[in-house]
Amino acid sequence: MSFKAPDLSIKQIYDEVMTTVLGPRPKMATLLLMIILAAIVLHGVFQFFRQSFVGLGVTGLTMPVYWGIYIATFVFWIGVAHAGALISAILRITGAEWKSSITRIAEVITLFTLPAAASFPFIHMGRPGLFYYLIPYPNNRLIWPNFKSPLMWDFFAISTYFIGSVLFLYVTLIPDLGTARPNMKGWRKTLYTILSFGWRGTAEEWKRVKEAAALFSVLILPVVISVHTIVSWDFAMQLVPGWHSEVFGPYFFVGALYSGVAAVFTVMTLLKWRCGFKDLITPIHYDMLGRVFLALGLAWAYLFFNDFLPGYYSNEPDKMAYFRYLAFSHPYSVLFWLMFLTNFVLPIACLSFKGFRMSTVPMFLLSIGVNVGMYIERVLIVFCGTQVYNPLARNVTVYVPSFTEISIVAATFAGVTLGYMLFIRAFPILPIWELAETKIRQTVREIAGKKVYYFKSGE
Amino acid sequence: MEAPEEILWKRIKITALGLFCFLVVFSFFLPMWLARVKAQPIAFSHARHAGVRQISCVFCHTGVLKGDMAGVPSVKDCMQCHQVVRPDSPEVQKIQEHWDKGTPIEWFKVYNLPQHVHFSHRAHVSKGIECKTCHGDLTHMDVVRREVDLNMGKCVSCHRENKAPDDCTICHR
Amino acid sequence: MGRICAEFAEPDEALAAHRALLDEGIPSQDIEIRSPCPLPEEAIPPHRSHPMRMRNWVRFFWICGAIGGFALAAGSQLDFKIFTGGHPLVSLPIDVIIVYECAMLTGLITTLTFFFIETRRYRKMCPPREEDLPVAEGHVALVVESEEAERAAGILRQRGARSVATLAFLVLFLLAFPGCTVRMRTQPVIKSTAREGVAQPRGTVTMPGLDERKHLYGTVLGYAIPEQVRELDKKDVIVPTAVMRMKNPVPYSARSVQRGREIFGELCVLCHGVKGKGDGPVADEFQPIPADLTDPVTQQKVDGELFWRITIGPSSMPSFYDRLTAEDRFHLVNFIRSLTRK
């Protein structure tokens, strides 16, 4: 399994990548789509303000389900946000050469999905203006946050991850901004001048960028693992039978990587079609990332069954009631078996074949299927956990998301898409310097009688 | 002649500084301005009544020992003394007008707790907490200033000093 | 002192040219290579290099962050007594989480900070010129600054940039939030429990009608308060005969006198004086002057009449029917009796 870099000169790589930034103005259809997305976002913002003034009564939340679609979407977005760290950090550390086309695509997914995720605890609050009570600082109330609460851990983990991933993206973006700056005009010139920080591209600067990128990879990887484990503890620390599970930490983490890779596939394919990165995103990339996808799918399936099997063997009544509710009750059984199909049956069956992995359209459809399945999984965990566990009163209220909730959730989806579209117009979406580096690295050359490798693996 | 980029930088710096100033004003001075002490309708002097004449606080703020609210004296309470005491003073004439017309005096409330805080005057005063602990020494003030900032830290620290309970539900219920 | 910049389309050519310059005798310190991607380090003799200590600094600050996180978690657990009723709350797993996240955050931020600091230090050593820029469109450039600068080809001049550092936006973002909380201090609250005491509208109280006060404090022993009292016109108030005849329902005792003294100290002392002589601090303002309570004229009055006088307030005295309960007024009567009873 060897990867061959596309046969392009640095100039050709530069030209191809910069078409999205410097290319012709977007078509009417694209502009229309952007306007529609912006309208959805604005509507969501309006609904959020309405909710925060009227109160959480406008949502469908009521006993026994008090964590609704907000929390489900929060977990989903956190999961998708893991894509950036996985691709950038893990592949950078392991020295996988095919990473360079994918790294920034994945990091930008993190850049937009993580704020979308972090906004949900904020939206879910009764008094969003007081979120800063979570920050431990010597305040005039003489009150410190309760460190026993998983919410506090969430706050620390998510803010660390967000800051880390933004800085990571920025450091790897600096050289490209510096390289592209002379060709820019207008507001882009201003932006690139500020952000590139006087980049000149000398050997000393390159040494430092590589060092910083290596350090970031090493530092951010454990943070990623901690983030979703801590998010899973939000559930696992409760005594709800569907949630109180020891395996939730790794289960959520693997699920997050699974949905993250699926999101990368979706975005990658769209970029390949819309922006014409035909030479830079090739079937080989699909094949390589597809193998990772398959491995994650198998791991997810193992942990999924592992979640149920101990309860099944011991025939624990609460856990079995939860499972029966998921699998056979009216509204949720359809979703459950759909998730089973798109998350387990289809990916494992299809991804085993190299021909499938290397074909674009089926992979695109499969990745969307997995994302839908992962969203359903989060919805099932969040809704059904408390819906079933109802020991005090036989309260039969079935949670249905209200219009407010749906429009706010839709606004985050629209916001992420819109943000991505704007980012593509403003910055190079593929890392030029990493692509060029990969290409140079693959040629062993002789200079002044000395055999020179680019750099040793694992550096 | 400055290079265009230097002009650009100057503009960016000025914009950032302006934005910063605006936000400081918006987030710091605006709440302060909204919470300012407005002028009272009648030039009532606490220094004259509570200081020189040594009238006890309870004489006018009758609710202090009866319930949660200390209470502002009604027009009738003012008039009971002032129909005899200096009825010719211009400020007393204003009270007389209110009494004749039957309209209330719209005093400005200087110390105002938000409604999500439960505070009982009786519980504190009957335990021997002096008025000036929270309201400052009014016997020297002609016009009442907000001398003590009644924030949560003030409440909590005093509760801890006096070994009073500091559960959340004591005040927020 | 000349200064030239030569561009090459391919890194290999640039490196070869660089080698050629060295062979020609130009010192390697004078040649700066600029490229759109990292080049093989082994091939480049050092330009002017500065030792890179980023990794050590990150290690150092990682440990600092861990210590800071531990101080935060442990300190707050010792300080955080609200939910625990005064007992310190120490929990190791929680400490580990906070320490871990703080250390990681510090490490990440330190990486970026030292990336900037170290590149800046290098740039100070080789300060940028007017025309300094990274070379565009994927070319690799050699910048030579020496006496013999004429030996390279393909000169391109462009303008340079200045460096910048502003992190003020984060601060601004945080500053914007105090504005959001104004609403919490002003909005109305639905109370589950009724509040005791005098109900007050916003800002002030209205003039209470007699009926409201009756509801709060009752009538005076079944007699309605005379209309004159409400109108502050008390000249013609007549003491009802039944009141004149009634006996004091509160027996005279040390306890009752003590209660009466407390009330006297709050409400009466300002006119009638500490000893009841009618010489209080505001007595000189009243016309007719306040009565001397130790005077036989006062003491000869029956309990019922004293009670009634406190209730309605004869002539210039305020009425106390709404401030004192009937029982408290009888305590006061007992106190007045104690002034002369030695």
- Radius of gyration, CA atoms only, chain C: 46
| Angle made by CA atoms A406, A86, A19, in degrees to the nearest 5 | 80
Instruction: Check CB contact of B8 with chain A, cutoff 8 Å.
Output: yes
Residue of B nearest to A194 (CA): B9
- Cα angle vertex C272, ends C268, C278, to 5°? 170
C333: nearest Cα among C292, C300, C304, C291? C304
**Which residue in the block uniquely carries the two structure tokens 């009238």?**
B55
B 97-126 residues inside an 8 A Cβ radius of C:
99, 102, 104-109, 114-116, 120, 122
Q: What is the pLDDT of residue A369?
A: 93
For all residues of chain A together, what is the average pLDDT? 83
Residues of A in Cβ contact (< 8 Å) with B153: 139-142
- Looking at residues B98-115, what average pLDDT do you find? 82
Q: For a pLDDT cut of 90, what percent of chain B falls above it?
A: 8
Average pLDDT over residues A330-347: 89
d(CA A269, CA A439): 22
CA atoms of A25 and A383, how far apart (whole Å): 44
- Token digits of residue A164: 């880390």
Judge whether A2 is closer than 8 Å to chain C, CB to CB. no
Residue C29's nearest CA partner among C125, C153, C130 is: C125
In a domain, A139, yes or no: no
| Residues of chain A with C-beta less than 8 angstroms from the C-beta of B5 | 193
If one compares A294 and A394, the residue with the highest pLDDT of the two is A294
Report how far residue A271's alpha carbon sits from residue A278's, in angstroms, rounded to the nearest whole number.
9
- CA atoms C187, C192, C193, C194: torsion sign: positive
| Structural domains in chain C, sorted by start | 2-48+126-166 (3.30.70), 54-116 (no CATH), 210-340 (1.10.760.10)
Interface contact flag, C37 A455, Cβ < 8 Å: no
Instruction: Write the CATH number for A262.
Output: 1.20.1630.10
Q: Which of residues 139-168 of A touch B (CB under 8 A)?
A: 139-143
Position A127 pLDDT exceeds 60: yes
Tell me the per-residue pLDDT of A272-284, one tens digit each, with 9 for 90 and over. 888 778 778 888 8
- Is residue A325 one of the residues assigned to a domain? yes
Domain annotation covers residue A134: no
Please tell me the total count of domains within chain A: 1
In a domain, residue A310? The reply is: yes
Task: Find, among A290, A296, A294, the residue nearest to A360 by Cα.
Answer: A290
C206/B168 Cβ within 8 A: no
Of the candidate ranges A373-377, A441-445, C92-96, C129-133, the one whose mean pLDDT is the lowest: C129-133
Residues A184, A179: Cα–Cα separation, whole Å: 10
Q: C151: distance to nearest CA of chain B, Å?
A: 30
C281 part of contact set with chain B, CB < 8 Å: yes
User: Is residue A440, in this structure, part of any structural domain at all?
Assistant: yes
CA distances from A160 to A52, A89, A155, C95, C108 (A): 27, 16, 8, 16, 9
Please work out, in degrees rounded to the nearest 5, the angle formed at the alpha carbon of residue C199 by the alpha carbons of B87 and B79: 10
Q: In terms of DSSP H, where are the helices of chain C?
A: 11-23, 54-79, 92-125, 168-175, 182-186, 210-217, 227-230, 241-245, 254-263, 269-272, 296-299, 303-312, 326-340
The reply to whether residue C198 touches residue B66, judged by beta carbons under 8 angstroms, is yes
Quote the mean pLDDT of chain B: 83
pLDDT mean across residues, chain C: 69
Q: Which residues of B touch C164 (CB under 8 A)?
A: 9
CA distance A72 to A406: 12
Report CB contact under 8 Å: B153, A139.
yes
B53–C184 C-beta distance less than 8 A: no
C-alpha distances (whole Å) from C129 to each of A197, C46, C194 are 15, 21, 76
Work out the angle at residue A99's Cα, subtended by the Cα atoms of residues A98 and A100, and round it to the nearest 5 degrees.
Answer: 95
Among the partner residues A141, A190, A193, nearest to B153 by beta-carbon distance: A141
Contact state of A226 with C42 under an 8 Å Cβ cutoff? no
Long-range contacts of C188-196, Cβ-Cβ distance < 8 Å, separation of 24 or more? C188/B115, C189/B115, C189/B116, C192/B173, C193/B173, C195/B67, C195/B68, C195/B69, C196/B66, C196/B67, C196/B68, C196/B120, C196/B122
In 10 A of CB C187, how many CB atoms?
Answer: 11
- Among B27, B105, B173, the residue with its CB nearest the CB of C179 is B27
Q: Which residue of A has its CA nearest to B8?
A: A190
- Cα separation, C107 vs A164, in Å, equals 9
How close, in Å, is residue C195 to chain A by CA atoms? 25
Q: Is B29 on the interface with C (CB under 8 A)?
A: no
Specify whether the CB–CB gap between B44 and B91 falls below 8 A.
yes
Q: Which two tokens stand for residue A328?
A: 């056979």
Closest by CA to A83, choosing from A271, A204, A224, A222, is A224
Among residues B53, B7, A267, A295, which one has the least CA distance to residue C286?
B53
**Cβ separation C134–A455 shorter than 8 A:** no
Find the range with the poorest average confidence among A301-310, B35-44, C217-226, C251-260: C217-226
- pLDDT band (50, 70, 90) for residue B9: low
The pLDDT value recorded for residue A449 is 56
Which residues from chain B sit within 8 angstroms of residue C281, using beta carbons? 52-55
| Gap from C165 CA to chain B (nearest CA, Å) | 11
Under 8 Å CB-to-CB from A403, ≥6 apart: which residues? A47
- Is B151's Cβ below 8 Å from some Cβ in A? yes
Taking a C-beta distance cutoff of 8 angstroms, is the pair A265, A367 a contact?
yes
Residue of A nearest to C119 (CA): A205
Minimal C-alpha gap between A193 and chain B (Å): 9
Q: What is the C-alpha separation between A74 and A123, in angstroms, rounded?
A: 10
Please name which of B149, B150, B130 lies closest in space to residue B139, comparing C-alpha atoms: B130
Helix (H, G, I), strand (E, B) or coil at C95: helix
What is the rounded CA–CA span in Å between residue A194 and residue B15?
Answer: 14
Instruction: Tell whether A223 is within 8 A of chain C (Cβ).
Output: yes
Q: Could you tell me which chain B residue has the CA closest to the CA of C86?
A: B166
Tell me which residue has tokens 């939860």: A322
| Residues in contact with C1: Cβ distance below 8 Å, sequence separation at least 6, in sequence order | C145, C146, C147, C149
Question: Which residue from C19, C37, C83 is facing A146, i.e. has the nearest CB?
Answer: C83
Q: Is C10 exposed, middle or buried (0-12, 13-18, 19+ CB in 10 A)?
A: middle
Task: Considering only the beta carbons, identify the residue of C38, C109, C116 that sits closest to A197.
Answer: C116
Partners of chain A (3+ Cβ pairs below 8 A)? B, C
DSSP of B84-136, one letter per residue? Answer: TSSTTSHHHHHHHHHHHHT-------SS---TTS---HHHHHTTT--HHHHH-
Task: Tell me the chain A residues in contact with residue C118 when contact means C-beta distances shorter than 8 Å.
Answer: 208
The CA distance from A346 to A344, in Å, is: 6
In the structure encoding, which two tokens stand for residue A414, read together?
A: 């629209």
- Asked if C47's CB is within 8 angstroms of A147's CB, the reply is no
Across the interface, do A190 and B8 touch by the CB < 8 Å criterion? yes
Q: In one letter, which amino acid is C339?
A: L
Domain span including residue A124:
10-129+146-455
Tell me the residue type at C38.
P
The answer to whether residue A228 is domain-embedded is yes
Hey, what long-range contacts does A119-122 have (CB within 8 A, 24 or more apart)?
A119/A412, A120/A70, A120/A71, A120/A73, A120/A74, A120/A77, A120/A412, A121/A74, A121/A151, A121/A154
Q: Are B104 and C207 a contacting pair at CB < 8 A?
A: yes
Pairwise CB contact (< 8 Å): C285 & B6 = no
Chain A residues with CB inside 8 Å of B151's CB?
A: 140-141
CA distance A6 to A363: 21
User: Is the CB of residue C68 less than 8 Å from the CB of residue C99?
Assistant: no
- At A210 the pLDDT is 85
Which residues does chain A have within 8 Å of residue B12's beta carbon, measured at their own beta carbons? Answer: 190, 194
Q: What is the mean pLDDT of residues B31-54?
A: 86
- The Cα C239–Cα C37 span in angstroms is 107
B152 touches chain A (CB under 8 A): yes
Q: Residues 6 or more apart from B7 whose CB is under 8 A from it?
A: none
Residue at A345 is within a domain: yes
How remote is the C-alpha of C200 from its chain's centroid? 28
Work out the minimum CA distance from B156 to partner chain A, whole angstroms: 7
| Residue C287 burial (10 A CB sphere; 0-12, 13-18, 19+) | exposed
Q: Which residue has the higher pLDDT, A50 or A131?
A: A50
The three-state secondary structure class of C32 is strand
Q: What is the Cβ-side half-sphere exposure of residue C147, based on CA atoms within 13 angstroms? A: 3
For the packed helices A403-426 and A103-124, what is the interaxial angle rounded to 10 degrees? 150
| Helices B90-101 and B75-82, packing angle to 10 deg | 130
On whether any CB of chain B is under 8 Å from the CB of C287, the answer is yes
Question: Cβ contact (<8 Å) for A140 and B152?
Answer: yes
The ipTM assigned to this model is 0.78
A190 touches chain B (CB under 8 A): yes
Per residue of chain C (342 residues), give pLDDT as tens. 556 666 666 666 677 677 767 776 667 776 777 777 777 666 566 666 677 788 888 899 999 999 998 888 777 777 665 555 545 566 777 778 888 888 988 998 888 888 888 877 776 666 655 444 445 455 666 666 655 544 443 332 332 222 222 233 344 444 444 444 445 555 555 555 444 444 443 334 334 444 444 443 444 555 555 656 666 666 666 777 777 887 888 888 999 999 999 899 888 898 898 888 888 888 888 878 888 888 888 888 888 888 888 888 877 888 887 778 888 888 999 999 998 876
Distances A350 to A255, A266, A341, B87, C336 between C-alpha atoms, Å: 19, 16, 12, 98, 102
pLDDT at C178: 43
CA distances to A33, A93, A161, A176, C57 from A165, rounded to whole Å, are 28, 16, 6, 18, 20
Q: Is the CB of B128 inside 8 Å of chain C's CB atoms?
A: no
When scoring C23, C58, C119, C130 by the number of chain A Cβ atoms within 10 A, the one with the most, hence best to mutate, is C119
**Higher-scoring residue by pLDDT: A25, A259:** A259
Q: Is A395 on the interface with B (CB under 8 A)?
A: no
Distance from CA of A57 to the nearest CA of B (A): 19
Q: CA C330 to CA C221: how far, in whole Å?
A: 12
User: What is the distance between the alpha carbons of residues A96 and A447, in angstroms, rounded to a whole number?
Assistant: 26
Distances (CA, A) of B19 to B25, C165, C216: 10, 17, 56
Comparing C-alpha atoms, which of A45, A35, A81 is closest to residue A412?
A: A45
Among A143-152, A276-285, B127-136, C284-293, whose mean pLDDT is lowest?
Answer: A143-152
Question: Considering the domain boundaries, does residue A137 fall inside one?
Answer: no
